[in-house]
Amino acid sequence: MRFIGPHVSIKENISFAVDRAAAIGATGFAIFTKNQRIWSAPPLSDESIESFRKKMAEKNYSPSAVLPHAGYLINPATPDEELRAKSLSLFCDEAERTVLLGLSTINIHPGAYKEGDRKDGLRRSARMIDEVLSAVPEIRIAIENTAGSGTILGSTFEELDELLANVNCKERVGFTLDTAHLFGAGYDVKNKATAILDDFVTRFGKEKLFGMHLNDSKVPLSSKKDRHESIGEGLIGKEAFKAIIQHDATENIPLILETPNEERWPEEVKMLLEF
């Protein structure tokens, strides 16, 4: 089974995300558990939680088909103690929201180390991941690869491997691979998608691929930039996504569109499901 769908809005009520995904034929989807650009939000109401869980069951979505994304303000690698405390609190809150919704995994960017040494940043990021895993025992964390701009961590498999090596609770940590980020970081997804996934599986094991973000790219290979494009309209191209869909590592994990044209989502979902 391929769990394919976009990152849908939680506007008005988080349970409406399930309706929005189902309306376009998605077999999986992603959400934020709160507004992703603010530090705090009211708790999820019992009614919203019950409605979300009920709609998930009614529309036949399993928890493994949904990949919540943590908010953009969280920086696990920051050297700033005040920002670190706020990031940890928010990360724990969003992990707890994920569990309340009946879901098991939350996606996080590894963060930016801002100053000093990359290795220190990796250690700080790993420490926060362990703290969240300890605070929320039911959660798994999917670390998302990045395009590698500036001091942002996680743009290579080697660096992701080093980050995982610093985590104590490794069994509850895996990765989300974003195709546009891979391309920006120098992985030739256009021509070598199968080989890249094979390399990941050899290095980490198939079980460590918790999800993927399927995005074409507006910017060229090795640009170190993150600019998403609709599938087939960017510099990666449709054939690469066909290879990804057909790879056995992408079975039974969320395959999430973060492409910019929402009007094309039904078409993109249909195309990917037919691959």
Residue 187 annotated to the active site: no
* Residue with the two structure tokens 């959400």: 31
Which amino acid does the sequence have at 23? A
Residue 161 annotated to the active site: no
Residue 213 annotated to the active site: yes
Choosing from 20, 69, 140, 172, which is the catalytic residue? Answer: 69
Choosing from 144, 159, 216, 268, which is the catalytic residue? Answer: 144
Choosing from 19, 50, 58, 72, which is the catalytic residue? Answer: 72
Q: How far apart are CA 218 and CA 47, in angstroms?
A: 41
Residue 228 annotated to the active site: yes
Choosing from 140, 213, 227, 247, which is the catalytic residue? Answer: 213
Residue 178 annotated to the active site: yes
Q: How far apart are CA 243 and CA 199, in angstroms?
A: 14
Choosing from 37, 46, 82, 274, which is the catalytic residue? Answer: 37
Report the SS3 class of residue 16. helix
Residue 124 annotated to the active site: no
Choosing from 84, 124, 228, 247, which is the catalytic residue? Answer: 228
Q: How far apart are CA 240 and CA 151, in angstroms?
A: 29
Residue 274 annotated to the active site: no
Angle at CA of residue 95, ends 41 and 212, nearest 5°? 115
Which amino acid does the sequence have at 67? L
Residue 144 annotated to the active site: yes
Residue 140 annotated to the active site: no
Choosing from 181, 227, 229, 268, which is the catalytic residue? Answer: 181
Largest CA distance in the chain: 50
Choosing from 93, 94, 159, 178, which is the catalytic residue? Answer: 178
Choosing from 2, 109, 124, 227, which is the catalytic residue? Answer: 109
Strands (E), the chain: 3-6, 105-108, 140-144, 173-178, 209-214, 216-217, 228-229, 254-257
User: How large is the angle between the packed helices 157-166 and 189-204, nearest 10 degrees?
Assistant: 30
* Residue with the two structure tokens 């098991």: 104
CA nearest neighbour of 52 among 122, 103, 6, 2: 103
Choosing from 258, 262, 264, 267, which is the catalytic residue? Answer: 258
Q: How far apart are CA 233 and CA 194, in angstroms?
A: 20
| Active site (catalytic) residues | 37, 69, 72, 109, 144, 178, 181, 213, 226, 228, 258
